Amino acid sequence: MKKSLGVVPALFPMPVLMIAAYDENGKINVMNAAWGTICDMDKIALIIDDDHKTTQNIRKVKAFTVSLADKAHIAEADFFGIASGNKINDKFERTGLHATKSACVNAPIIDEFPIAMECELAEIVQTDHLFAVIGKIVNVTADENVLSDNGKVDPTKLHALIFDQFQHGYYVAGEKVGQAWHAGKDLMKKD
C-alpha cells in the first residue's frame, strides 16, 4: 500500500552540478545545483535562481562551465551549495581547488572535477513558474582516468555524486545493471 507524502520534489537521482563562471573582473564563482538537465544534444538547462552570484556572472560574461562533482571532492561540492558568493567574497579560494580558463568559452574549468561541459549562454527563460539558464555546450573535457578503452566516459570510473531530495544525502553512482535500448528489447516481440 502506498502512503501519501504530500507535495515533495520526488525525483531521484538528481545530479550534483558545479556551475562555474567568471565575473566581469575575472573572479571565479562556483555554485552547487541539483536542478539541471540536458535538454538537447548540445544544450543544458539549469533551473537556478536569478539572485545567485553565479547567475549574475553568467548574465554578464555569457559563458559558464558545468562540472560533475565526485566523491573525492564532496566537501568542496557541498560548500559550493551552502556558501553564497553574494556573501563570501573568497568562496572559490577557500576550497583550495584550482581552475583553468576554458579554451572554448570565457569560463573557468575546475581542474579537480573529472568532467566539464563548456557552455555559451544560449538564453535565460523566465516565466511565472520557471527561471532557467540554457547553455549551448560547445565542448566537453574529461580526465583521462574516467575514460574507457573506447575513449568515452565510463560512469563506473566517475564516482559522480548524486543528490537525494528525500533525505538530503549524497550518493555515488556506479553500478551498471543493464544496457539502454536493449534491456527491454524482448518486450518488443509480439506473441
Q: Could you tell me the pLDDT band of residue 176, with boundaries at 50, 70 and 90?
A: confident
Answer whether residue 120 shows pLDDT above 90.
Answer: yes
Instruction: Assign 3-class secondary structure to the chain.
Output: CCCCCCCCCCCCCEECEEEEEECCCCCEEEEEECCEEEEECCEEEECCCCCCHHHHHHHHHCEEEEEECEHHHHHHHHHHHHCCCCCCCCHHHHHCCCEEECCCCCCEEECCCCEEEEEEEEEEEECCCCEEEEEEEEEEEECHHHECCCCCECHHHHCEEEEECCCCEEEECCCCCCCCCCCCHHHHCCC
Answer whether residue 177 shows pLDDT above 80.
Answer: yes
Q: Give me the residue spans of the domains in the chain.
A: 14-188
Answer whether residue 174 shows pLDDT above 80.
Answer: no
Whether pTM exceeds 0.75:
yes
Q: Each residue of 39-75: pLDDT tens digit?
A: 999 999 999 999 999 999 999 999 999 999 999 999 9
Q: Each residue of 131-143: pLDDT tens digit?
A: 999 999 999 999 9
The whole-angstrom separation of Cα 101 and Cα 1 is: 53
Q: Supply the pLDDT for residue 160.
A: 95
Residues 6+ apart with CB under 8 A from 87: none
- Residue at 140: amino acid letter: V
What mean pLDDT do residues 85-102 have?
A: 95
Per CATH, the homologous superfamily of domain 14-188 is: Electron Transport, Fmn-binding Protein; Chain A (2.30.110.10)
